[in-house]
Amino acid sequence: MGLLSGLSSPADLKRLDESQLVELAAEIRQLLVEKVSATGGHLGPNLGVVELTIALHRVFDSPEDPFIFDTSHQSYVHKILTGRADKFDTLRQKGGISGYTARTESEHDWTESSHASASLSYADGLAKALSLTGRGDRNVVAVVGDGALTGGMCWEALNNIAPGQDRNVVVVVNDNGRSYSPTIGGFATNLAMLRMQRSYDEIMDHGKKTLKSMGWVGERTFEALQAFKEGVKSQVIPTEMFPELGMKYIGPVNGHDMDQVLNAMTYARNYEGPIIVHVVTEKGHGFAPAVNDVADQMHATGIIDPVTGIPVAEAAPDWTSIFAQEVILAAEQREDIVAITAAMAGPTGLAAFAERFPERFYDVGIAEQHAVTSAAGLALGGLHPVVAIYSTFLNRAFDQMLLDVALLDLPVTFVLDRAGVTGSDGASHNGVWDMAITSIVPGIKVAAPRDGGQLRELFHEALEVSDGPTVVRYPKGALPEEHEELMRLEDGVDILRYSDSSDDAVDVLLIAVGSFVGTALAAAERLEGVNVTVVDPRWIVPVAQSIVAMADDHDLVVVLEDGIVRGGVGSLISEALSAAEVDTPLRRLAFPDVFPLHSSRSELLAEVGLDVDGVVDSINRWLAPSTEN
């Protein structure tokens, strides 16, 4: 790592000879493969933007020129060039550096949300702020992928950026033809056509040849300069993709040719007004196992062999794989089942469904709002749509769930992967809000399976609901141990542990949501001198009447959930007890009202008191006054 060892800031990068930049790019790729293979992370996207990121920091002046990376999972090279190369051993680990840009890490990081399609709106606002505060000569650089441009928010932003001819917004389209999987839709088709045009470098070569033929080697005549300008100008024109917006366009640029990228960025830096630079890159470039990974070109990996790219540990059966099996089974039994994803067929488990039923599968791109209302249209047409997305991305489509689906009593099933605490992906990827936001939707039914067997049951139960929306939520990762119920009540509530003691011990009703059943059972075994009944509601919305009745028979009700404490399942049950005039005290063990830093799921749960030790300590503390009396 000869050149990297001397880099601690973009200023150091600017002091290198241009001839050294290709060597630097090779060192960065070597570092990425070595470090990310050991920690896991977004390898493919970062290998694809090495030359691009070097060119950005070489030409522009970060942080005075703000860089906004859309989603920012491709910001590893940016972190390396801004003095964080020595911290990659701690990538995505507790106390280490984030897998996304993080304002607490560096002045060069302007944002930290990892949701796609927001960069251009950030850039629009930043450019307006710079203009209003007398810094309008600066550039705001937004790096956005072709996948993110399938999101409507990007086009709303472009509609506002384009008229601002006095504001310097550089929109760098990192076009690798993919998000997780190949980019789809009319926009992707348009980009593919643009890629077939003459490259920016070819235009520049034409201009240089013209200059040489007119005497460039000798005195720079007026005619020669005009010919050179025309050679460049022929490429800086609006294209068919942006005719109404009227934005300037440079491209397509070979994103792995250092000279091409530097030339394009230099032009963009000096251009007055908003401009689009179309850079064509290859996801995973320089690492054959990533390039050859047909699934997602190593978009995100676990720990892998740095030579072969093969995962170090065998993949254990997980929640997503169970859903993948069951949605195909349901579609084989019912012709009205259709599936929708927002550019995440593989991660949500719908890839196999797409192969088995291509005519009943819809990938709408990174457009959760459209996905939900399109599902409403499918339901209006007599079908039963299954919308599979990450829990954290449901936040973006709440209005559509509320007013386009629920208001019309439409049978749409939402399957929320990565629900609850996800850990290492950071604050904006944790799915701790879904129970709070879905519980306020009139007529909705929400299920939280405790294990793989219950996921199978509850998903099929959800598909049987025909008079409104249903939600099935489950966490990230391997499946937990399965726990058989002692008894299932008429309204579907499972009793997993029951204490019927005649002594004077306190009776505690411990209501465990989803995968926390195992935690609740382990905690119950450790609580001494307490009669603990553990129940799994299975359907957490609406609140089952048996839950209210059991609460009335106990001395304390404790709700254990991995959603936020404010507005979660505990709040819902508390309201139900109040309405029934049940005065049994209720306590909530849930995620606090904070944005957590990245760490493993187990570390984060322990930190907020949602592991077995934390549950036992909290219940003992709440019971202390009773036991003392």
Residue 516 annotated in ligand binding:
no
Average pLDDT over residues 219-232: 47
Q: Are residues 261 and 326 in the same domain?
A: no
Residue that wins the pLDDT comparison between 119 and 213:
119
In the predicted model, is pLDDT for residue 229 greater than 60?
no
246 is in an annotated binding site: no
Answer yes or no: do 372 and 507 share one domain.
no
Q: Is residue 628 very low, low, confident or very high in pLDDT (cuts 50, 70, 90)?
A: very low
331 and 372 share one domain: yes
Whole-number average pLDDT of the chain: 89
Q: Which of 381, 413, 411 is nearest to 394 (CA)?
A: 413
Residues 120-148: tens digit of each pLDDT: 999 999 999 999 999 999 999 999 998 88
pLDDT tens readout for residues 441-486: 999 999 999 999 999 999 999 999 999 999 999 999 899 999 999 9
Alpha-carbon distance values, 270 to 166, 169, 230, 317, 393 (Å): 13, 11, 17, 53, 37
Band of pLDDT at residue 371, cut at 50, 70 and 90: very high
Structure tokens belonging to residue 307: 């030579």
- For position 424, what pLDDT does the model report? 83
In this structure, the answer to whether residues 451 and 532 fall within a common structural domain is no
Catalytic residues: 283, 368, 396
Angstrom distance (rounded) from CA 341 to CA 319: 17
Predicted confidence band at 251 (pLDDT cuts at 50, 70, 90)?
confident
252 and 388 fall within a common domain: no
Which of 473, 508, 537 is at the close of a domain?
Answer: 473
pLDDT of 57-104, one tens digit each? 999 999 999 999 999 999 999 999 999 999 999 999 999 999 999 999
pLDDT for residue 25: 97
Split into its structural domains, the chain has a count of 4
Backbone angles phi, psi at 204, to 5 degrees: -60, -45
Identify the band that residue 202 occupies on the pLDDT scale cut at 50, 70 and 90.
low
Give me the pLDDT at residue 448, please.
Answer: 98
Domain-ending residue, one of 248, 273, 291: 291
Task: Say yes or no: 239 and 206 in one domain.
Answer: no
Q: Does residue 484 lie in a domain region?
A: no
Judge whether 459 is annotated as a binding position.
no
Pair (37, 177) in one structural domain: yes
- With respect to residue 478, please indicate whether it lies within any of the assigned structural domains: no
Residues 286 and 342 in one domain: no
Domain extent at residue 410? 319-473
Check whether 461 is labelled as a binding-site residue.
no
Pick the more confident residue, 204 or 11: 11
125 is in an annotated binding site: no
Q: Show Cβ contacts of residue 518 under 8 Å, excluding neighbours closer than 6 positions.
A: 450, 480, 481, 483
- Is the CB of residue 473 less than 8 Å from the CB of residue 513? no
Are 140 and 227 in the same domain? no
With residue 363 as reference, give the H or E element that holds it: strand 361-363
Shared domain for 597 and 468, answered yes or no, is no
Can you give the CATH number for the domain in which 612 is found? Answer: 3.40.50.920
154 within domain boundaries: yes
> 460 labelled as ligand-binding?
no
> Which region among 6-10, 168-172, 624-628 has the lowest average model confidence (pLDDT)?
624-628
Write the pLDDT tens digit of every residue in 504-520.
789 999 999 999 999 99
Q: What are the tens digits of pLDDT across the range 609-623?
A: 999 999 999 999 999
444 lies in some domain? yes
Whether 301 is covered by a domain: the verdict is no
**Residue 297 in domain:** no
Identify whether residues 193 and 212 lie together within a single domain. Answer: no
E-strand stretches of 199-274: 248-254
Asked whether residue 580 is assigned to any structural domain, the reply reads yes
Which residue carries 């592991």 as its tokens? 611
In this structure, the answer to whether residues 162 and 209 fall within a common structural domain is no
Q: Return all residues near 133 (Cβ < 8 A) that are at least 6 apart.
A: none
Query: Would the CA dihedral through 390, 395, 397, 399 be positive or negative?
Result: positive
Taking residues 214-228, report their average pLDDT.
49
> Cβ neighbours of residue 68 under 8 Å, at least 6 residues apart?
110, 111, 119, 122, 123, 126, 140, 141, 142, 143
Q: What is the CATH number of the domain that holds 39?
A: 3.40.50.970
Task: Bin 512: left if φ > 0, else alpha if -120 < ψ < 50, else beta.
Answer: beta
In the predicted structure, residue 312 carries a pLDDT above the cut 60: yes
In percent, the amount of the chain with pLDDT more than 70 equals 88
- Residue 226 confidence (pLDDT) above 50: no
- The answer to whether residue 488 is domain-embedded is no
In this predicted model, what pLDDT tens digit does every residue of 406-440 receive, in sequence order?
Answer: 999 999 999 999 999 988 887 888 899 999 999 99
